[in-house]
A and B are shown apart, each in its own frame.
Chain A
Amino acid sequence: MSPSVIFAPDMRRLYLAMILALLAGCGPTQVKVEGSFPTPLMEPLPLKMGVWYPEAFRNHEFFDDAKSRGESSWVVDTGEAQVAMWDTLLAGMFKELVHMKGMPAPEQMNPVVDAVLIPYVDELQYSIPQHTNVKVYEIWMRYRFALVTTGGQPIAEWTMSAYGKTPTAFLRSDQAAVNLAAVMALRDAGANFATGFHRVPEVAAWRESRRGGKARPATKTTAEGASPGGRQP
């Protein structure tokens, strides 16, 4: 057996590895957002709040709108970090937080709670210094929230924006900077929600009706653009 025959399979493996390495270099930059989120420092609202994260929210990722996932230069996975942040925030904001077993609906078996919050990420935009010539990485998100009864009857629906940015820094990679900007945007979302939840008119009316002991009519209300932005409850 000639040496070339002996080494040929190994060489093929080497070539294959080299081609795969080159192809990997051509793919989009992947970032899985990771960070730790503090518990909010506030008096918990006396509510047994349920939460349901839709699948698109749990697995949320973003890439250039103009391109497909494969063509985008950036793919940023925020789903796990979103769930981690909202779990921490809501557990600190409400007296009790309960995770629903399914999307609230009349036929869906779920634990009984005062209301169920369903968050959605409607839009997300990002910019990096190569796009803007400004030495900051930015992420902007628009959330939509639906507050419903356990049976799925709408109580309130509103939108809220969040923004995070981080400056360029020596020896910090683009991936680390985008991750940090995303963490800042998530913290901002938490701050906006925590300080503004009580200001959403439909939520305030619902809480008032609970305090008055009236049975709340399950009518759909919309507070589009009720971006709270408030500072204090």
Chain B
Amino acid sequence: MIARNLLRIGAWARLPAALGLCFGIILTTGCVTSTVDEMVFNEPVEGIGDATVVILGRRHASDYETEPDFIDCVGKHIASRDNSITVISELDFVNSLYPWFEPRTAPLHPADIERLLQQRPVAQRLEELKTEYMIWIDGATVQSDSTGTMTCGIGPGGGGCFGFGTWSNDSDYEAVIWDFTDRAEVGRVNTTATGQSYMPAVVIPIPIIAPVQGTACDGIGEQLLQFLSAEY
């Protein structure tokens, strides 16, 4: 009985800490505004069966590069919501078809697939992989409008920071869906997201980060899921 009371007291004692943690999580997440545009044709209403999907990043631009983490995030978003969809990892796909999907050699138009398939080893590998849809994502998340100052110091008695910083993050991604069987483009999904992050510092800096890239990932992932999945 005493032990049970102690446990109960312990649970009550931990409540403020738990509430503080929840409050902290809410406080440390900035706000994000997101827009998604979609245009798709020939949706596979019965799902894609045992075929596979590959999501690849476009890496042709000189001043930015579609982040591999973003591609991974979109793939995980789709596979976790509908586990009947097999999403091949970008690196595995590109490695297994090297050198045909490097930035220099990757097909730019659906018609280029025909030319690739004229090579027997490439056609065989793609047949083994059962790739039905190839999704190309192009875009990046950039940081802009950073302002504010922060000063940090350290002395014999301790250290700390004082100041305030803020910056904006903007994501802009476009996914183009290619149907491998018909060698045709069957959809485009565009997502933009903007968010402002803050970092006030009174002794300890407290980052309040806007999850801009994560929101863009969820937005584009959800639309692709609706296209590919029979359940959504």
Q: Which residues of A contact B (CB under 8 A)?
A: 38-43, 134-136, 165-167, 169, 187-188, 190-192, 194-195, 229, 231-233
Contact = CB atoms under 8 A, between A and B. Distances in A.
Where chain A touches its partner, the secondary structure class is loop
Contacts of A134: 63
B211 to A, nearest CB: 12
Contact of B115 (A38, A43, A136, A232): A232
A41 B104 contact: no
Given A41-B99, A231-B112, 17 more contacts: A38-B98, A41-B100, A41-B121, A136-B65, A166-B65, A167-B64, A167-B65, A169-B67, A169-B69, A187-B102, A188-B103, A190-B99, A191-B98, A191-B102, A192-B104, A231-B105, A231-B115
A41 B101 CA distance: 11
B96 interface: yes
Nearest to A39: B98
A42 B121 contact: yes
Contacts of B51: none
A190 B125 CA distance: 20
B118 interface: yes
A194 B99 contact: yes
Interface in B55-71: 59, 63-65, 67, 69
B104 A43 contact: no
A188 B102 CA distance: 7
Contact of A43 (B65, B99, B120): B120
A232 B65 CA distance: 25
Interface residues of B, number: 27
B48 interface: no
Contacts of B96: 38, 41
Contacts of B104: 188, 191-192, 195, 229
A194 B59 CA distance: 20
Nearest to B121: A41
Contact of A41 (B59, B69, B97): B97
Contacts of A136: 63-65
A36 to B, nearest CB: 8
A167 B139 CA distance: 12
Contacts of A190: 98-99
A19 to B, nearest CB: 23
Contacts of A233: 119
A195 B99 contact: yes
A39 B96 CA distance: 8
A92 to B, nearest CB: 9
Contacts of B65: 136, 165-167
Contact of B98 (A40, A43, A232): A40
A166 B112 CA distance: 26
23 contacts: A38-B95, A38-B96, A39-B98, A41-B96, A41-B97, A41-B100, A42-B119, A43-B120, A43-B121, A166-B65, A169-B67, A169-B69, A188-B103, A191-B99, A191-B105, A192-B104, A195-B105, A229-B104, A231-B105, A231-B112, A231-B115, A232-B119, A233-B119
